[in-house]
Structure 1
């Protein structure tokens, strides 16, 4: 349970213990004002495995997360074999989570859908229409912190040169996308190292949730998958 107390501290009840952690009034510039129920961040660092281990230690020692669970993501980039209008190449993205191994999230042009995993197998068989890059795998842990779930993972694929790590924060109690703004923002100030360079994708007029057929009112795992894909595109992690 997370409670905002008067003053400049945020109180978190974890495992029947109360931690009082300073909540600075001047938030770091990388902590944006707009957050949803799920927030996906990319930590940039020279040694991803070391950063992940330090993050793991912090979650265990500071937040008393005694039984972290395995967390894994597999992402793939598809290229159309034929050019489309304007001479551009058609592209599609897939996201698979270990929590739902039979489901996959696919983004193609302006549509993102949740489908059976067999849909990816169909794309792989359509060699005359699609080619693809090797799958990029991320592996790490998921931590329960009161009403939050924090998921952190490193890229483990040999074809990825990026050395940072992914961090996803989920706020469990609410279903409306704007309910948890302040709580998520304050929680992030506690788990993000102050010197860490952080990248976050944010919706805009050109790339919004509604543009790909998603609700702006109720947030789902499909919205999170769209965040991941747009962040991967922004940082060229799948190329």
Structure 2
């Protein structure tokens, strides 16, 4: 596992198709090979009773890269607790209906193509919420490195090669916290 960056790609047309097609062509011009498809989905559950200053949330995620695992992120208000379990966790959710309730028709999904180019894995996907198009996400992973400080400039240059100026020269806030850790 390397360093991974998620980047929102601007979609001026708001259609998704045209911009993702441009990205697919650009990454293929760099001699990337398509290595499959990916899918990530998230459903959010809310507490039935108000705890403290507000409702707490539990996000349930599934990733096609790890098909036998279900992820849960519990938002306590002050911190987030991450849990990974097998698919049987999904069967436990109906038994928690006295505590957590699923907001109907609220499912967020990102689906798209996965590419490999040298030491990089690139996923280009469209994001939908309850079936309605919301935007484009690009995930770039640099496999040989696990210290963001050592590879950020290389990753930025690579992302700019096919995404252009939408990639900021400054380090994303979530990576800034991890810079310098070895």
TM-score class normalised by the smaller sequence: 0.7 to 0.9
- Aligned residue number for residue 40 of structure 1: 6
Q: Which runs of structure 2 are paired with 1:6-25 in the superposition (5 Å)?
A: none
Q: Which structure carries more strand by proportion?
A: 2
Structure 2 residue matching 1:67: 3-state secondary structure: strand
Contact 1:72 1:139 in 2 (8 A): yes
Cα pair distance change 1:108/1:51, threshold 3 Å: same
SS at match of 1:41: strand
Alpha carbons of structure 1 residues 121 and 52: separation in structure 2 relative to 1, 3 Å: farther
Contact 1:77 1:135 in 2 (8 A): yes
User: What is the CA deviation profile of residues 108-129 of structure 1, one whole-angstrom value per residue up to 9, with x for unaligned ones?
Assistant: 1221122222223312432111
- 8 A Cα contact 1:75 1:136, kept in partner: yes
Quote how far apart the aligned CAs of 1:54 are.
Answer: 1.3
Contact between 2:7 and 2:139, CA under 8 Å: does it hold in 1? yes
Query: Residue 127 of structure 1 aligns with which residue?
Result: 97
Relative to structure 1, is the Cα distance of residues 202 and 132 closer, same or farther in structure 2, using a 3 angstrom cutoff? farther
Residue number in structure 1 paired with 2:83: 113
Structure 1: any 5+ residue segments left out of the alignment? 1-35, 210-215, 219-239
- 1:170-217 Cα offsets, whole Å, 9 max, x none, are 0001223432122112112112133689xx962399xx68xxxxxx94
Checking the alignment, whether the CA contact within 8 Å between 2:126 and 2:133 is kept in structure 1 is no
CA distance, structure 2, for counterparts of residue 105 and residue 178 of structure 1: 27
2:126, 2:136 within 8 Å by CA — same for their partners in 1? yes
Gaps of 5+ in 2: none
- Aligned-residue CA RMSD (Å): 2.8
Aligned residues: 170
- The CA distance in 2 between the partners of 1:143 and 1:89, in whole Å, is 39
**What is the CA–CA distance in structure 2 between the aligned matches of 1:132 and 1:78, rounded to whole Å?**
4
Distance 1:192 1:68 in 2: 20
Return the match for 2:43 from 70, 73, 76. Answer: 76
Matched, 1:94 2:60: yes
Aligned-partner Cα distance in 2 for 1:72–1:158? 15
Q: Structure 1 length normalisation: TM-score?
A: 0.62
